[in-house]
Amino acid sequence: MHFADRLLDACRKKQNALCVGIDPRWEQLPREIRARHAGGTLDAMASAFEEFSLRVLDIVAPLAPIVKPQSAFFEACGPAGMLTQQKVLVKARQLGLLTILDAKRGDIASTAEAYADAALAGTLHEGKRHAVWSADALTVNPYLGRDAIEPFLASARRAEAGVFVLVRTSNKGSGQFQDLSCDGKPLYQHVAGAVGAWAAENIGTCGFGDVGAVVGATHPAELALVRTWIPQVIFLVPGYGAQGGAAADTAAAFRADGAGAIVNSSRGITACFKPDEPKWEAAIERACRAAIQDLAQVTPMKALGD
């Protein structure tokens, strides 16, 4: 089943389009988990991240359609962290969650293919595909151009997975290059146009393609513009919550029926408690429900429940 259709199905089942970012940071873990993984090694840090992340998945699986593990925090623990990343992705799938591996990969030719297959279709070895991260989608960086993106599209299409291309990122300095006026329009408009063309190559029943765009909630005017340029592209919207974007800032990302966008919240959900809070699991559940309610009040997302 086409990635966009799978995503819309998942959103309709959960009646929302919240993506929960899994970005474990040692300082933000519950103190009880840190105490169980003391020792001060990166292996201990990886095992703490694993316990916390798997618990978060249990809590959010009944509520949200999709999660987005941030690869950098797992890589920070070294090889043990990469094993944790793998376990988190496997468990998310077992719980019926869709997954975006947020790794912002980008390279050329067979190197891009290696990243893409690791994330999506599986590494080909001795005639068989072997699951590595087995995510449902991967974030990628467009700077290297079309032929560097193509191996990601090929791997995604083999696996009926998705690719989210950075268009307008949520950081303050994103405009340094993305806003440059190129032949009369900003660079991110050129990138958006390319993403629209890639998405149009493979449109699902729902009317959206399998190539999405990362467009930050912290730039709501630009987000609304990008939506008009590429109506068939699913938006992954970071920047909501802890980064400063409001729920209303994400509204323009959605089609009237609530399709076409997922809104990510990471720290706003998984770091919503003080480390000493004994009832941190309940706090995460409340924060997740609150984010869904917040988004439903001011965006077309609420139509998913109709």
CB of 193 to a copy of itself, least distance (A): 11
User: Pairing mode, if any, of strands 66-69 and 18-22?
Assistant: parallel
Nearer to a copy of itself, 16 or 70 (CB): 70
Q: Which of 25/158 has CB closer to a copy of itself?
A: 25
Smallest gap from Cβ 74 to a copy of itself, in A, equals 9
Question: Rounded to an integer, what distance in angstroms lies between the CA atom of residue 175 and that of residue 132?
Answer: 34
Binding site for a copy of itself (CB under 8 A): 23, 25-26, 40-42, 45, 70, 72-73, 75-80, 82-83, 86, 104-112, 114-115, 117-118, 123, 125-126, 128, 130, 132-133, 141-148, 166, 169-178, 180-183, 187, 190-191, 194
Which of these is catalytic: 104, 128, 185, 274?
104
- Residue number with CB closer to a copy of itself (123 or 232): 123
Smallest distance, Å, CB 162 to a copy of itself? 19
104 is catalytic: yes
Cβ 205 to a copy of itself shortest distance, Å: 30
Q: How far apart are CA 244 and CA 70, in angstroms?
A: 19
d(CA 282, CA 300): 27
Q: Tell me how far the alpha carbon of residue 296 is from its chain's centroid.
A: 19
Residue 125 or 256: which CB sits closer to a copy of itself? 125
- The residues that are catalytic are 104
